[in-house]
Chain A
Amino acid sequence: MSFNVKRGEIHGICGENGAGKSTLMKILSGVYPHETYTGKIMLDGKMISFEKGAIRQAIESGISIVYQELALNPFSTVGENIFLGREPVRFGDVINWNDLYGRTKELLKTYGLEIPFGETVGNLGVGKQQMVEIAKSLSEEAKVLILDEPTSALNEFEVNTLHAILRTLKEKGVTCVYISHKLEEFFQITDTVTVLRDGQHVATLPTAETDTDKLIAMMVGREMTERFPSRKVEIGEPVFTVKDYKVMSTEFMDKTLLQDVSFDLKKGEILGIAGLMGSGRTELVTSLFGEMGKQVAGTITLNGKEININSARDAMNHNIGLVPEDRKTLGLILEQSILKNISLPSMDRFSGFMHIDKNKELDESRKFAKSLRIKTPNLLVPAEKLSGGNQQKVVISKWLMTNPDVLILDDPTRGIDVGAKYEIYKLMNDLVERGVSIIMISSELEEVLGMSDRIMVMCEGHSTGILDIKEATQEKIMALATAAAQDEKETS
């Protein structure tokens, strides 16, 4: 992979999830030291490399990153945050506060950033906090400013402000690398765009010479292969219906996480949910599982009856199961045995008061471990010893044991190898053949296209469309997922 970023330009980088954007940024910022990769990074004609753990070196050489998750101390003031670690001192170690705030004021004025310099950062909105991060980078004399999905948490007004700031920076000769999922932003702000796919460089070209469709084609452009087993299932009547679903954030009262989401799931069907990270797909299934607090509106119908789900237990009682996004933090108790992990939600079946029928527990757990082909000498091995694919099979076994009618799989094949993926696909086919209905979130477009009967695409908390598998293409999904739906309608 090689590409050039010109001085004083705003350079966009786009690609699907897992295309290598974050890895690239980690290398550039010194998170991955130079022993871990091969190749050269040149800045102003000089090769730069960073030693292990020397993130500071990257900053000193002039590369600065503004991360997706802001890395500020919310309890300190704007000035303190900007000069953290570089406070102006006198008499040995006494901070010169007047100097610190004076320089902060000067800095903010130079770049036209409107932030009260003495305010506690926690009291500022997300947009302003991001400005503080940018100011911090600038105070460190950054030559290259890398913005990793800077607009994911901003509203439209804040995005415009950010773009205005970036244009000011460009005038002052600061180079920006702009990573985003939202393709339309590239056309608003960048001069040049680089497309990455599967860790490889696809193209770097002036923004003016391309358009959304071309970018999408370059981002997905892969051949479909026989990676998905076929199935023969008679799809039945709708069993699970969600109507006018709306979820508000419990942390920020005025932030809407999901709005106007409606869909139905038929018996024996796999409904794929596609969307980029932050599109609200995980929030959707988590709240359907009763774990997003009480700020939820809309109706959920199961087998024709309206139901209320306020906790995971409620969901389980309605025979809904959820294989969560992150198996390590949400799916498994890593140090406990495979056996205990599988049987955890189903303990009621093996237990009386003051008694667990351990033989029955082992017997039933074994059946699942066997049919899912979990590779392990026995079930007493701690879950942490298994490979990612086998761990995922344990989480799936755990939910299969609860006999779900509706099984929600949140990115079930993330981070597992091709062989294990295939086995999980076959398992999904087995399940729908037995009449289970599946909702599958996936970050991989091929997977969604290869496994789903219908695909719901989400973008920024909205359902932007439900496609039948016959009409769905990667381009259509990407267009809906990047909210470029209008362009799509015009071309078709």
Chain B
Amino acid sequence: MTTEQNSALLKKVKHGLKDYTVLIALGLIWILFSILTNGIFLKPRNISNLFRQASIISFLATGMVLVIVLGNIDLSVGSVVGFLSAVTAFLQVKVFYDLMPRIFPAMTATGQGIMSTIFTIIVVLLLAVVIGVWQGSLIAYLKIPAFIVTLGGMQLFRGGVLGVTQGKTISPVDSSLVSIAQGYVSKPLGWIIAIAVVGVIFFTTILGRNQKKSYGFEIPMMWKDLLKASVISGIVVIYIMIMNDYRGIQIPVLILAGIALLISYISTNTRFGRYAYAVGGNLEATRLSGINIKKTIFLVHVLMGVLSGVAGIILTGYVAAGTVNAGQNYELDTIASCVIGGTSLMGGKGTIIGAMIGSLIMASIVNGMSVMNMEIFWQYVVKGLVLIVAVYIDVISNKQKS
């Protein structure tokens, strides 16, 4: 091999390393914790808990990526989640618990509970849309800076939490709501999901190749595409295998996977997503390209509202109650997840998958340290340092480029 080939290979490896920095960091953190905890960290039981703990912030991070991609920020998500969680509990305990037997007198108590949960979800999601519309219109149409609107929202909705809960914990919520956040998919169903996912991955790979061929594009070697599909399928199958070794796939993680895939698809395969990245990349150029930038900004914030609603509902089920300090500091964990996952605070850059890994890194640190029985103050210290280091890595890698 000549030196030229050598350096080209080195460049490729370096480039690849940069693309997978977050993933490598996650791997290192896992290895470190599994050594420090004598392997307890990587036990199926702990992995199952870890992913569930990461899921709530991850819902928020899927939306936050797009907000940050616009060049905006949402500081209100923690309070909004808290508020919607309080409303969820309030509806379940104070409203539908009495109402359902009157509307559906023929149903069993379990049936009435499920109906109560369905109604709750619908009302809370509608409310989440209203909150998104409120903040989105102030930011996009009245041109109040997102930082200020959401800083105000942070106070406003924290006040809402206190108003709804009257300073007390609201419980108990219906068991069907609890199982959304704490339940598991039955193991056989888990395997069916595994097979279906693998099938879809290979099907879309082949379909994509054929479509490209019909346009006469040069396509990557068959084995490369198949290898890629196999690796992704492998990760999915191994994950499901580990989960089935414990109690099965966690329902909130399954919901998250669905939503993350959907938002990821929207961000790269729809005009809306494209325009969001364009606005963040160069607002003026995007406007001069005849694009309705106000509508784009508005819709991103509405989507953030909806995802806060989803997170709020799942949080309520997870805690099995509505509490006064629900969602506190979530905005910081969410923003940190996005940034660790490679989203640029300057706007224009960021991926959903990156933010998901970022959120998993944050959750791993908290989980690992609590498995180690370290005092809780260390979690904050380490989380803070990791964020700073992650951004520093981003800063130096950008410097090298220019």
Cβ-neighbour of B274 out of A313, A329, A340, A360 (below 8 A)? A340
Chain A's interface: helix, strand, loop or mixed, by majority? helix
Asked if residues B217 and A354 are in contact (CB atoms below 8 Å), the reply is no
Check: B291 CB closer than 8 A to any chain A CB.
yes
Interchain nearest-CB distance for A359 vs B (Å): 5
Contact residues of A between 302 and 325, Cβ < 8 Å to B: 311-313, 315-316, 322, 324
Interchain nearest-CB distance for A363 vs B (Å): 5
Asked if residues A316 and B290 are in contact (CB atoms below 8 Å), the reply is yes
Cβ-neighbour of B288 out of A291, A335, A340, A347 (below 8 A)? A291
Given contacts A332-B282, A335-B349, A336-B281, contact A355 B269 (CB under 8 A): yes
Cβ-neighbour of A398 out of B270, B282, B289, B348 (below 8 A)? B289
In the complex the two chains form, what is the Cα distance from A130 to B292 in whole Å? 39
Check: A344 CB closer than 8 A to any chain B CB.
yes
Residues of chain B lying within 8 A (CB to CB) of residue A344? 274, 278, 286, 289, 291
CB-nearest residue of chain B to A363: B215
Check: A356 CB closer than 8 A to any chain B CB.
yes
Residues of chain B lying within 8 A (CB to CB) of residue A354? 266, 269-270
Interchain nearest-CB distance for B48 vs A (Å): 33
Residues of chain A lying within 8 A (CB to CB) of residue B349? 335
Contact residues of B between 287 and 309, Cβ < 8 Å to A: 287-292
Asked if residues A333 and B278 are in contact (CB atoms below 8 Å), the reply is yes
Check: A358 CB closer than 8 A to any chain B CB.
yes
B118-132 interface code vs A (CB 8 A; 1 in, 0 out) = 000000000000000
Residues of chain B lying within 8 A (CB to CB) of residue A330? 284-285, 288
In the complex the two chains form, what is the Cα distance from A356 to B349 in whole Å? 19
In the complex the two chains form, what is the Cα distance from A28 to B269 in whole Å? 53
Asked if residues A347 and B271 are in contact (CB atoms below 8 Å), the reply is yes
Given contacts A331-B285, A356-B271, contact A311 B211 (CB under 8 A): no
Interchain nearest-CB distance for A256 vs B (Å): 24
Contact residues of A between 344 and 374, Cβ < 8 Å to B: 344-345, 347-348, 351, 353-356, 358-360, 362-363
* Total A-B contacts with CB atoms under 8 angstroms apart: 79
In the complex the two chains form, what is the Cα distance from A291 to B214 in whole Å? 41
Check: A186 CB closer than 8 A to any chain B CB.
no
In the complex the two chains form, what is the Cα distance from A356 to B217 in whole Å? 17
Asked if residues B281 and A333 are in contact (CB atoms below 8 Å), the reply is yes
Interchain nearest-CB distance for A181 vs B (Å): 26
- Size range of the chain A interface in the assembly: 20 to 34
Asked if residues A351 and B270 are in contact (CB atoms below 8 Å), the reply is yes
In the complex the two chains form, what is the Cα distance from A335 to B348 in whole Å? 8
Asked if residues B285 and A329 are in contact (CB atoms below 8 Å), the reply is yes
Contact residues of B between 200 and 229, Cβ < 8 Å to A: 211-212, 214-215, 217
Residues of chain A lying within 8 A (CB to CB) of residue B287? 291, 312
Cβ-neighbour of A332 out of B214, B217, B285 (below 8 A)? B285
Asked if residues B284 and A362 are in contact (CB atoms below 8 Å), the reply is no
In the complex the two chains form, what is the Cα distance from A322 to B289 in whole Å? 9
- Size range of the chain B interface in the assembly: 20 to 34
Check: A289 CB closer than 8 A to any chain B CB.
yes
Check: B184 CB closer than 8 A to any chain A CB.
no
Cβ-neighbour of B290 out of A313, A334, A363 (below 8 A)? A313
In the complex the two chains form, what is the Cα distance from A374 to B240 in whole Å? 47
CB-nearest residue of chain A to B216: A363
CB-nearest residue of chain A to B402: A384
Asked if residues B215 and A359 are in contact (CB atoms below 8 Å), the reply is yes
Contact residues of B between 82 and 116, Cβ < 8 Å to A: none
Check: B41 CB closer than 8 A to any chain A CB.
no
A267-303 interface code vs B (CB 8 A; 1 in, 0 out) = 0000000000000000000000101000000000000
In the complex the two chains form, what is the Cα distance from A453 to B122 in whole Å? 65
Check: B277 CB closer than 8 A to any chain A CB.
yes
Interface centre among A333, A345, A356, A362 (most CB of B within 10 A): A333
Given contacts A356-B270, A362-B215, contact A312 B289 (CB under 8 A): yes
Residues of chain A lying within 8 A (CB to CB) of residue B288? 289, 291, 312, 322, 324, 330-331
Asked if residues A345 and B289 are in contact (CB atoms below 8 Å), the reply is yes
Interchain nearest-CB distance for A349 vs B (Å): 11
Residues of chain A lying within 8 A (CB to CB) of residue B217? 359, 362-363
In the complex the two chains form, what is the Cα distance from A351 to B275 in whole Å? 12
Cβ-neighbour of A334 out of B212, B270, B282 (below 8 A)? B282
Interchain nearest-CB distance for A94 vs B (Å): 35
Residues of chain B lying within 8 A (CB to CB) of residue A324? 288
Residues of chain A lying within 8 A (CB to CB) of residue B274? 340, 344, 347, 356
In the complex the two chains form, what is the Cα distance from A359 to B213 in whole Å? 10
In the complex the two chains form, what is the Cα distance from A336 to B217 in whole Å? 21
In the complex the two chains form, what is the Cα distance from A360 to B217 in whole Å? 11
Residues of chain A lying within 8 A (CB to CB) of residue B290? 311-313, 315-316, 345
Asked if residues A333 and B286 are in contact (CB atoms below 8 Å), the reply is yes
In the complex the two chains form, what is the Cα distance from A444 to B274 in whole Å? 37
Given contacts A331-B285, A344-B286, contact A336 B291 (CB under 8 A): no
CB-nearest residue of chain B to A350: B271
Residues of chain B lying within 8 A (CB to CB) of residue A311? 290
CB-nearest residue of chain B to A317: B290
Residues of chain A lying within 8 A (CB to CB) of residue B275? 347
In the complex the two chains form, what is the Cα distance from A330 to B289 in whole Å? 9
Interchain nearest-CB distance for A311 vs B (Å): 7
Contact residues of B between 325 and 345, Cβ < 8 Å to A: none
Asked if residues B211 and A359 are in contact (CB atoms below 8 Å), the reply is yes
Interface centre among A311, A359, A398 (most CB of B within 10 A): A359
Asked if residues A336 and B266 are in contact (CB atoms below 8 Å), the reply is no
In the complex the two chains form, what is the Cα distance from A359 to B277 in whole Å? 20
Residues of chain B lying within 8 A (CB to CB) of residue A363? 215, 217
Asked if residues B270 and A345 are in contact (CB atoms below 8 Å), the reply is no
Residues of chain A lying within 8 A (CB to CB) of residue B284? 329-330
Residues of chain A lying within 8 A (CB to CB) of residue B348? 333, 335-336
In the complex the two chains form, what is the Cα distance from A344 to B271 in whole Å? 9
Contact residues of A between 23 and 37, Cβ < 8 Å to B: none
Residues of chain B lying within 8 A (CB to CB) of residue A336? 277-278, 281, 348
In the complex the two chains form, what is the Cα distance from A474 to B271 in whole Å? 47
In the complex the two chains form, what is the Cα distance from A324 to B289 in whole Å? 10
7 A-B contacts (beta carbon < 8 Å): A289-B288, A330-B285, A340-B277, A344-B278, A351-B270, A359-B211, A359-B215
Q: List B residues at the A interface (Cβ < 8 Å).
A: 211-212, 214-215, 217, 266, 269-271, 274-275, 277-278, 281-282, 284-292, 348-349
Q: A345-B289, A347-B275 are in contact. List 4 more A-B contacts (CB 8 A).
A: A331-B288, A333-B286, A334-B281, A359-B214
Q: List A residues at the B interface (Cβ < 8 Å).
A: 289, 291, 311-313, 315-316, 322, 324, 329-336, 340, 344-345, 347-348, 351, 353-356, 358-360, 362-363, 398
